[in-house]
Chain A
Amino acid sequence: MEKLKISLLLQLCCIFIVGVSIALANQTERIGKIKTSQPEADIRRDTTVIAARAGSEVFANDILETGKAGNLSIIFRDGAMLTLGPSSEFTVSEYIFNPVEKSTSFISKMKKGAASYISGAIGRINPESVRIETPTAYLGLRGTKILINVD
């Protein structure tokens, strides 16, 4: 009886650990890498601000921001490329890229500034899953390149 209890407890612990690590993995998975940047380009993550440099890793919910003279470009895991111009702010809140299961999602918000976006495999596999919100509109992309200016 005692043995059974212990094994049950161990099993529960295992399930818990697996669950937590899956949750953490989803949260900490890189969604893209900075390709180019000029000064006044930052990644704001929780309370820290990191200068965006070529090769810097980008995660979901990071706030990408540029100052008056800044710009940056990022290539996402699915091959999509985003270039931000001066005085811009962009965040990807949900990035799911599971091509085998055809489970994909790119939900983002552009608060201000100028951007060019070229969609990648997410836009091909599941076109309706690329969404960008701006202060006045929702954009739904079907495999394309667009320019956005928010002022």
Chain B
Amino acid sequence: MISSRILSLCFFLLLFVSACSKTMVVLVPDPDGAVGKVTVTPKIGSSHLLEKPMESINTYPVSILSRGSDIITMESLPESLKETLRNEPEYLSQFIFYFQSGSVELNEESLGKVSLAVQKIEAKKSCDVVSIGHSDSVGDEEYNVRLSSQRAEVVKSMLVAAGVAAECIETISYGESDPLVKSGDNVDESVNRRVELEIR
């Protein structure tokens, strides 16, 4: 009799706690298909690393309810997350323009992309375009920040010449800090000499 009372008390306690607050985290592939990682550290309990596509974990205010992670399907997501994904806009479109070594001259193939970028800006009716200049690691950092900034400006001026409103384009220089291909210092790497144009 007493044990059944304790049991039912436990049951209601569990019900109460689980109704309190819960965080569900799901790792999903990026727009380009890559899958990253996320560490989930409950405020009470030990942390967990999610690294597989659609790997999901729930955290609760008490660790007794915690279980490991599960692989779930899109169909089994809670309605609120499905609703969120339905309203998620298309992620920014990106065009990459490559440059010759130590120069603000676009290479031949990249020149052809300017008109495609302009078409995309017009199609998206975007007034939030960012021209991000990057360099490889040849030369010192300060030089590369300057070079990257000039590259970003070159792409901007080409877009403006093709009819995009100048006030819709922001330029940023990352220098050598965000390479596409990681390399040591002073490495001539054509893939890293670029401007990433983000059409947001």
Q: A residues near B, CB below 8 A? A: 33, 35-36, 38, 55, 71, 73, 75, 79, 81, 83-87, 99-100, 102, 113-116, 118-119, 121, 123-125, 134-151
Contact = CB atoms under 8 A, between A and B. Distances in A.
**Chief secondary structure at chain B's binding surface:** mixed
Contacts of B175: 99-100
5 contacts: A125-B178, A136-B60, A144-B36, A148-B25, A149-B81
A146 B31 CA distance: 11
A136 B36 contact: no
B87 interface: yes
B164 interface: no
Nearest to A113: B80
A140 B36 CA distance: 11
B21 A145 contact: no
Contact of B177 (A75, A100, A142): A100
B120 to A, nearest CB: 16
Contacts of B28: 116, 145-147
Contact of A100 (B30, B84, B173): B173
Contact of B22 (A118, A119, A124, A150): A150
Given A84-B84, A86-B83, A150-B21, A99 B91 contact: no
Contact of B30 (A136, A144, A150): A144
Contacts, number: 161
A142 B36 contact: yes
B84 A114 contact: yes
Interface of B: 21-31, 34-43, 59-61, 77-78, 80-81, 83-85, 87-89, 91-92, 127-128, 130, 132, 141, 145, 172-175, 177-178, 198, 200
A114 B175 CA distance: 36
Cβ-closest 4 pairs across A and B: A144-B36, A85-B84, A114-B80, A137-B59
Given A99-B172, A124-B178, A137-B42, A83 B22 contact: no
Contacts of B40: 137-139
Contacts of A75: 92, 128, 200
A46 to B, nearest CB: 25
A136 B81 contact: no
Contacts of B83: 71, 85-86, 114
Contact of B174 (A38, A71, A85, A99): A99
